[in-house]
Amino acid sequence: MGSTLIRGGTVVNADAAIRADVLVRDGRIVALGIGSDWTADTVIDATGMLVIPGGIDAHTHLEYPIDGFTTRTADDFYTGTVAAAHGGTTTILDFVKKEPDRSLYDTYLRRRDAALERSVVDFGLHAIVPPRAQQPDVLDDLRRLAGEGAAGWKFFMAYPGTQMVDDGELLEGFDLARELGVLPMVHAENGHMVARETQLLIDRGDTAEHFHATAHGHDSEAEAVHRAIVLAESVGAPLYVVHVSSAAAADEISRARADGRRVWAETCPQYLQVAYEDYEGLGEKAAAYLCSPPIRERSNQEGLWKALVTGAMATVATDHAGFCLHQPDDLPPQKLRSPGYFPKVPNGVPGIEDRLMVLWEGGVASGRFDACRFVDLVSTRPAKLFGLFPRKGIVAVGADADLVVWDPAADHVITTENTHMRTDYNLYDGMRVTGKPVHVLSRGEHLVDAAGSFSGAAGRGVFAERGAPHLF
Amino acid sequence: MGSTLIRGGTVVNADAAIRADVLVRDGRIVALGIGSDWTADTVIDATGMLVIPGGIDAHTHLEYPIDGFTTRTADDFYTGTVAAAHGGTTTILDFVKKEPDRSLYDTYLRRRDAALERSVVDFGLHAIVPPRAQQPDVLDDLRRLAGEGAAGWKFFMAYPGTQMVDDGELLEGFDLARELGVLPMVHAENGHMVARETQLLIDRGDTAEHFHATAHGHDSEAEAVHRAIVLAESVGAPLYVVHVSSAAAADEISRARADGRRVWAETCPQYLQVAYEDYEGLGEKAAAYLCSPPIRERSNQEGLWKALVTGAMATVATDHAGFCLHQPDDLPPQKLRSPGYFPKVPNGVPGIEDRLMVLWEGGVASGRFDACRFVDLVSTRPAKLFGLFPRKGIVAVGADADLVVWDPAADHVITTENTHMRTDYNLYDGMRVTGKPVHVLSRGEHLVDAAGSFSGAAGRGVFAERGAPHLF
Amino acid sequence: MGSTLIRGGTVVNADAAIRADVLVRDGRIVALGIGSDWTADTVIDATGMLVIPGGIDAHTHLEYPIDGFTTRTADDFYTGTVAAAHGGTTTILDFVKKEPDRSLYDTYLRRRDAALERSVVDFGLHAIVPPRAQQPDVLDDLRRLAGEGAAGWKFFMAYPGTQMVDDGELLEGFDLARELGVLPMVHAENGHMVARETQLLIDRGDTAEHFHATAHGHDSEAEAVHRAIVLAESVGAPLYVVHVSSAAAADEISRARADGRRVWAETCPQYLQVAYEDYEGLGEKAAAYLCSPPIRERSNQEGLWKALVTGAMATVATDHAGFCLHQPDDLPPQKLRSPGYFPKVPNGVPGIEDRLMVLWEGGVASGRFDACRFVDLVSTRPAKLFGLFPRKGIVAVGADADLVVWDPAADHVITTENTHMRTDYNLYDGMRVTGKPVHVLSRGEHLVDAAGSFSGAAGRGVFAERGAPHLF
Amino acid sequence: MGSTLIRGGTVVNADAAIRADVLVRDGRIVALGIGSDWTADTVIDATGMLVIPGGIDAHTHLEYPIDGFTTRTADDFYTGTVAAAHGGTTTILDFVKKEPDRSLYDTYLRRRDAALERSVVDFGLHAIVPPRAQQPDVLDDLRRLAGEGAAGWKFFMAYPGTQMVDDGELLEGFDLARELGVLPMVHAENGHMVARETQLLIDRGDTAEHFHATAHGHDSEAEAVHRAIVLAESVGAPLYVVHVSSAAAADEISRARADGRRVWAETCPQYLQVAYEDYEGLGEKAAAYLCSPPIRERSNQEGLWKALVTGAMATVATDHAGFCLHQPDDLPPQKLRSPGYFPKVPNGVPGIEDRLMVLWEGGVASGRFDACRFVDLVSTRPAKLFGLFPRKGIVAVGADADLVVWDPAADHVITTENTHMRTDYNLYDGMRVTGKPVHVLSRGEHLVDAAGSFSGAAGRGVFAERGAPHLF
Ligand SMILES: [Zn+2]
Ligand SMILES: [Zn+2]
Ligand SMILES: [Zn+2]
Ligand SMILES: [Zn+2]
Ligand SMILES: [Zn+2]
Ligand SMILES: [Zn+2]
Ligand SMILES: [Zn+2]
Ligand SMILES: [Zn+2]
């Protein structure tokens, strides 16, 4: 692969921004220096630029089956990871959901193979823990998955009857995660509360798309977060709460952390930057904004930003699960499969490519936090929590040369057209941003260059095995 | 000075522990590498060791006058900084208290000269802001001090009649600090509450040394912390609370930070490791433990540790203000000048040399937090808050080569004899610790070697000017 | 029945203590006066005494089947209410638990008949709402019960597989309660947490009686309280939490009330006055102390008392469910049916007769609160919450003449022998108290006189129908 | 005076609403009954009406000197108490502020004489504690005042340089209050914060009337409340916070009470019903709305109502301190003495007559709380806190016959014209209310009848001596 020298930039890690040259050899960073006389096969001039660790998106759903495998998300591992790379993300952590006729472990093997075949960036896989009723011996599979370096385990507190597990299953799963050093994750919504609200809305005929947000109340999310924290604490397990959307839920996490509980939380760009008011009046097209938990009122956003500033919230991932608004021929039914009836709209929004730009704009460019905190949220912290650190998540000697040269003073407008996701809309279409990736390297390979041309092969991505998590 | 190579160690910064060689030239770190073939004039083998940034003690009182200049602390800038270096601390931030017949600014110049003459490590100086009554034009002096790189400004909420300023002066001072980018600091105890309790104790005849702790209640500290936070917030200023001793006060800080307030707090080894129960029965010798705020009940300690773990507390400094227990000939009256009468016991305890070892033991060796957090508390965070970062507080290219090779698996016992402070007792005498400094470098100069021999000259320390603070 | 005049006492209601004579005619209070020249058939001299409304015990289990109807509590409606009357309690609210082969409604009718036949004081009945699986049309029965004046509805959040309902059933039940103006009640323990802890203890062989307390953690109670409050709030229903035993759970209630939530809570004398330390070392005899939630550590008591003082806790009931320690011939298996194996020890403790004396001692005699608050806790508030006010729960004109002449300066020792409950032990045996009932009247009938002789007939108690609750 | 019978009404006390006839003889209530055949000299038919205890306004300023005795409030003890009576208030607690050339005690005697001469309802007097600098022996006077039955002691935390006392004086005063069983009161605003904001506004030329609200921030009030609570707790004293205007301050009280602190708070109708938005655009006429603390944003109101509902707030008084908007000939300079310059506008608003009607409307008629809570807030609780209970504050035998027959279903509009205060405007002019007083009796004397005609003589009011307070 040869050597690469990134010269003249400011290296930004979670704790410091330092002027330094970065020398890469054989896919790894071998030296950082200042005033060096180093040479290399390739030299990238990063003058005026930041050099940051490649983004790690801890929550994606590529070629992902939903609703009883009746449909799937639009991006496959190839299109999704190409888009990720364009956006400065060089590692994704996707999910494995047990197929009806396969064990969780067998599904995992199939899905890992699929990713190995098509992914252009490195990837890990979280396992979704099915209710015991669907696989009585699931704990055995979880043990094997842990042994093979699968990332986290996700438990659903929502979707009674399909994915929801009860508190007893949570306790058992959390306890095993603690024993094996795996970080358990929860989708935190009280499934019964959501189900009841949904039924009441259906009974009233309030099934237009935007009522989805009504069905998923703040309280149902905050309650589930609170309960998950209590359950995890009771067995001594750490906890990761995915896609926190409600400021009330963020408050529960803040209180718990102030009290010394080992809980970390993730939010997503769509909750920070988009609002209920953006789709309330769109009619059927509001389907484009539907995900769970829902995109909430604009007044809710500031509480999420505050949680990022105070550290109550630890990571920003995408929950990328894009569906096209207009039905393409080659995909199963997408967003508009049941117009006017929110309970059947496929849940999920795209964002794998937008994440860094959107967070930089609202976070760093807006003065809420600095570039170090940005790096922590999008790369370092997910790497630490899911056992990839310090191989990934840092610009340091010995680490994988997953590097992004970031222009902190770009003048760029995000559009559906200039992004590469499969979906036919982009939630941030038209958004002007002042930071964007210029070069993207994955293990030293120059995937995206300053001209935006892409050169990675399908299947070049490798499985990023979970090592010991850093939970301090 | 030549070059130095520290080879084979694990570099520990606030965000990561990384295997790396460190190359030093002309007093600065010029490169970090792995698998390098670098050479240097001096090579230090750090195999099995950690390489951490030199400690920064943000709160010391060397050759410091107290009680109307009737006495002073035992260590001068020479003995104090020699001890600091032995303990792994390569930068101190001391205080300037206006002399009665001199302006604050003139006192500052004199004191800076004294430190330049005697200090063997780098130093900065905080200014103590006197009540307006003592110097009506003090705000002018503060402006000049800010311009000349003085560190923080300390305000006393205690000691009515001498150092205490009222809320109006706090507001004015905080506002100016905000304008000039200086971090204001408070000694947070409600002076009236302490004065009243003291008087009640005197009236009752309860003047034995240990009643000092009774006079300084938890509530007086928590109240002052709460008030300082409100006042700072009302003018948009950040805030630094020195020597937080009470878990109740730490709770106030925790709440404020969770609410997004920009407040940082410091605690000290004596509050973490020593307890009221240790001196309650010592009679006059309890004087050795008297400082303000006081060393509190053992049950209070866990709350302070928790605050370090959760991040509610940001730094650990010493408030080093040692006085001898037995009166030496060459010093003004020390600890025993008024036996049996706590209101006249000189306040302050030594610790400048013990800090890192004591915190490592209780923090890292005990499993409460990792080495990264340790580095953050003793070096990185103080550097950031007081505008010394990234010149100090980090092992990174471009930074001063203030480096400590730290043995994380030493088997060492702290004693009064094997430490170098001027005082004739050590609060941690007999404490077994498992981490200790092996080599100490200051700007590349090898001050302390593995044999413990010291080689720095008086006056080699330079003034560490405050740059832009990092307050995210 | 004629008229009765209680002369010379101090009438104590929830808001005031007033010198007044009380004139009773035909079972009701017809006048209060001062300096009156009233005459009556019977005159009771209450000089130096308090005249308080008869106690209302909102939580009793007389002749109550448990554990799949394999056994029952020791007191029947006759012995239990005789004991209640001796203790100053003139109304009880007992529970109806659906029998396996009968609907809830039919069980209710049978049980009401049993009480009508044997009870010597007035009574109401709460309905326990079975899981839908046990009676699919249970909501219909609840509607009928509401219409017939049944008191509250109790939902179990504990005992998965038998009585536990899930969050969906709670939501549905709370919503119906709101609609019908019934106060829903919860037994708040997270059943899954308790079940898991129990299983872990069994697996470890830790089945001695006192491990019962380990199985029922503070967190499982606090979590359930929190969740019940969220669920009730989400449907706009008020909530009553029975037998709060943990100070952590009381804190959840305190926070919710401060936030304006309409939640009330009950605690019991056993949680206030008895402690885990009292039975930890008793071996099999610890069975005498087993109830759910458990009697907790002594350090937990003060938090409960504080909640009574601040008003976070609204009522004190007994959860009277006595079982004999030594097996009598005429009762099914009692406390010692499975020595050394806590999961099978019948849960419940006696106290229906002790309640007022125990609470007076710890509350009023100890100076924690005044006699008015005492009356509120034991009589007025339960009357208000369960729709019996102002017919009961107050000494006022128009109210039932359920009256207790209370000696606030008695010197009395509670013993197993001098109390009248069926059980062969008394948790408060040997406790010295300074307040006790002297005369007890029920609807004007003199049940207990100063000599302690009792004169009420079985079946004289009438059904106390729920009216409109007072929920402010 | 003869006897009076109020027949057919519903007697409403703090804990119950009861159908009862009320028999009055010689100024006191001698009997309550139902179905009685009592006769009396005068019979008032209260069918369909409520019979409540006369209102007690714990905070008034009649003929009250302000601003260094340069002006005074518009109502004197006669006009003010006539208005009070018309509004259903039969007892007022006014204030004594030390005159410059007289001791506090001598001022008190003069002021008591003035009230005895002119007041038509009963009255008590709170003493305002001047800074020690103004009267070194003020504690001696406080002792004498306590002995003579003066009501509470008020301390100012605002107005540095004139009335503000420092924390040391607060501690000393609170401690003496505790010793003597007097309830200390605070005007809680941080004087330094307000003074600084005021100066900044003056410096910027922002002196228009409505900037008064900007000068008195929420944080200055909340801080002072927090501090007062800490100080009182540290000496074991109870505390009463007057005129709480900010929901943030109410939150501090709520937290403290939930934590078991003995603190009570008062708010006023103007903070509940009027808003900043009502006067922001009025120019000079905004002077009519200026009082301290200020009338705040509409969004602040709900937090105050919530505090009344939860019990965090204990009383509603008026802080009646009316000034005319148009200058009358016979009064010193009133509201418009310094148009356009808020720092010199006399602070205070009228309301002594409106209080009950306004609170009933927003509280009871709006469904926030019931009539019992209303009575508690306006009469029972102030009577208890200031040692007038149960002589006043309750409809009970033995109590003064201070009685209001209240129409709960009136259709009435408050206007400046139909109220009787001296001021030429009424903050509630045009407000439609559904509850109003119909008959008002003071110690059995029929002051106001159903036709609204008034018959009390100046000077008939008697001094209401403080007895033992009820602080549970
Ligand atoms: Zn999810
Ligand atoms: Zn997802
Ligand atoms: Zn200090
Ligand atoms: Zn200090
Ligand atoms: Zn129960
Ligand atoms: Zn029960
Ligand atoms: Zn005031
Ligand atoms: Zn006032």
Q: What is the distance in angstroms between the CA of the first residue and the CA of the last residue of chain B?
A: 36
Centroid of ligand 7 to alpha carbon of D248 (angstroms): 17
Measure CA D112 to chain center: 18
Determine the residue of chain D that is closest to B169 in CA distance: D192
Cβ D15–C17 below 8 Å, yes or no? no
Centroid of ligand 5 to alpha carbon of C241 (angstroms): 9
Cβ A233–C219 below 8 Å, yes or no? yes
Question: With bands split at pLDDT 50, 70 and 90, how would you rate the model's confidence at D35?
Answer: confident
pLDDT tens per residue across span D384-424: 999 999 999 999 999 999 999 999 999 999 999 999 999 99
Identify which of B345, B337, B348, B281 has the alpha carbon closest to the alpha carbon of residue B63.
B348
Interface of B with D (CB under 8 A): 160, 166-168, 170-172, 190-193, 195-196, 217, 219-220, 222-223, 226-227, 230-231, 233-234
The pLDDT of residue D70 is 85
The pLDDT of residue C11 is 98
> Above 90 in pLDDT, residue A427?
yes
Measure CA B256 to chain center: 23
Determine the residue of chain D that is closest to B225 in CA distance: D227
The pLDDT of residue C109 is 97
Give mean pLDDT, residues C63-79.
92
Interface of C with A (CB under 8 A): 160, 166-168, 170-172, 190-193, 195-196, 217, 219-220, 222-223, 226-227, 230-231, 233-234
Domain segments of chain C: what residues?
Answer: 54-365
Question: With bands split at pLDDT 50, 70 and 90, how would you rate the model's confidence at C230?
Answer: very high
How far is C435 from C406, CA to CA, in rounded Å? 7
> Above 80 in pLDDT, residue D160?
yes
> Above 70 in pLDDT, residue C349?
yes
Give the residue ranges of DSSP H helices in D265-351.
269-273, 276-279, 298-310
- Chain D hits for B171, Cβ within 8 Å: 192-193, 196
What's the CA dihedral at D375, D381, D382, D385 to 10 degrees?
170
How far is D193 from C180, CA to CA, in rounded Å? 52
Q: Is D52 helix (H, G, I), strand (E, B) or coil?
A: strand
- Chain A hits for C166, Cβ within 8 Å: 166, 192
The pLDDT of residue A1 is 63
Cβ C258–D260 below 8 Å, yes or no? no
Which among D14, D259, D397 has the least Cβ separation from residue C34? Answer: D397
> What is the DSSP code (8-state) at residue D336?
G
Give mean pLDDT, residues B44-53.
98
pLDDT tens per residue across span D293-303: 999 999 999 99
- Chain D hits for C13, Cβ within 8 Å: 15-16
Cβ B312–A258 below 8 Å, yes or no? yes
Residues with CB under 5 A from ligand 7 (ion): D 187
Query: Chain A: nearest CA to B116, how far in angstroms?
Result: 29
> Above 90 in pLDDT, residue D68?
no
> Above 70 in pLDDT, residue C1?
no
Question: What's chain D's average pLDDT?
Answer: 97
Contact D202, D343 (CB under 8 A): yes
Contact D444, D462 (CB under 8 A): no
CATH superfamily label, D55-365: Metal-dependent hydrolases (3.20.20.140)
Cβ B396–A255 below 8 Å, yes or no? no
pLDDT tens per residue across span B349-379: 999 999 999 999 999 999 999 999 999 999 9
The pLDDT of residue B216 is 98
> Do β-strands B184-187 and B153-156 pair in parallel, antiparallel, or remain unpaired?
parallel
pLDDT tens per residue across span B12-27: 999 999 999 999 999 9
The pLDDT of residue A69 is 75
Centroid of ligand 6 to alpha carbon of C198 (angstroms): 20
pLDDT tens per residue across span C22-53: 999 999 999 999 988 999 999 999 999 999 99
pLDDT tens per residue across span A53-73: 999 999 999 999 997 778 999
- Which ligand minimizes its atom distance to the CA of C157? 5
CATH superfamily label, A54-365: Metal-dependent hydrolases (3.20.20.140)
Residue A195 backbone dihedrals phi, psi, to 5 degrees:
-60, -40
- Distances, alpha carbon C76 to alpha carbons A168, A307, D9, in Å: 37, 57, 43
Q: Is D298 helix (H, G, I), strand (E, B) or coil?
A: helix
Determine the residue of chain C that is closest to D381 in CA distance: C15
Residues with CB under 5 A from ligand 3 (ion): B 187
Q: Is C404 helix (H, G, I), strand (E, B) or coil?
A: strand
Residues with CB under 5 A from ligand 1 (ion): A 187
- Chain C hits for A196, Cβ within 8 Å: 168, 171-172
- Residue B233 half-sphere exposure toward CB, CA atoms < 13 A: 21
Per-residue b or e along C63-89, where b marks 16 or more CB atoms closer than 10 Å to that residue's CB? bbbbeeeebbbbbbbbbbbbbbbbbbb
How far is A415 from D338, CA to CA, in rounded Å? 59
- Chain A hits for C230, Cβ within 8 Å: 190, 219, 222-223
Cβ A171–C226 below 8 Å, yes or no? no
Query: Chain B: nearest CA to D356, how far in angstroms?
Result: 36
- Which ligand minimizes its atom distance to the CA of A64? 2
- Chain D hits for B222, Cβ within 8 Å: 230
Determine the residue of chain A that is closest to B262 in CA distance: A310
Which among D220, D222, D230 has the least Cβ separation from residue B219? Answer: D230
Measure CA A26 to chain center: 28
Contact B11, A15 (CB under 8 A): no
> Above 80 in pLDDT, residue B69?
no
> Above 80 in pLDDT, residue B108?
yes
Centroid of ligand 1 to alpha carbon of A361 (angstroms): 25
What's the residue count for chain A? 472
The pLDDT of residue B35 is 87
Q: What is the distance in angstroms between the CA of the first residue and the CA of the last residue of chain C?
A: 36
The pLDDT of residue B89 is 98
The pLDDT of residue B1 is 63
Query: Chain C: nearest CA to D127, how far in angstroms?
Result: 27
Identify which of B77, B105, B103, B107 has the alpha carbon closest to the alpha carbon of residue B92.
B77
- Which structure tokens are listed for B397? 């290219």
Query: Chain D: nearest CA to B101, how far in angstroms?
Result: 29
pLDDT tens per residue across span C83-117: 999 999 999 999 999 999 999 999 999 999 999 99
pLDDT tens per residue across span A270-329: 999 999 999 999 999 999 999 999 999 999 999 999 999 999 999 999 999 999 999 999
Interface of B with A (CB under 8 A): 13-20, 23, 30-36, 254-255, 257-260, 306, 309-312, 369-370, 372-373, 376, 380, 389-390, 394, 396-399, 470, 472
Give mean pLDDT, residues A180-198.
98
Query: Chain B: nearest CA to A31, how far in angstroms?
Result: 4
Which among A160, A171, A196 has the least Cβ separation from residue C196? Answer: A171
Q: Which helix (H) or strand (E) holds A265?
A: strand A263-267
The pLDDT of residue D1 is 63
Contact B55, B318 (CB under 8 A): no
Give the residue ranges of DSSP H helices in C165-268.
167-180, 191-204, 211-215, 218-235, 247-258
Per-residue b or e along B35-45, where b marks 16 or more CB atoms closer than 10 Å to that residue's CB? ebeeebeeebe
Q: CB count, 10 Å around CB of A298?
A: 12
- Chain D hits for B192, Cβ within 8 Å: 166-168, 170-171
- Residue listed under structure tokens 């929901």: D247
How far is C348 from C334, CA to CA, in rounded Å? 10
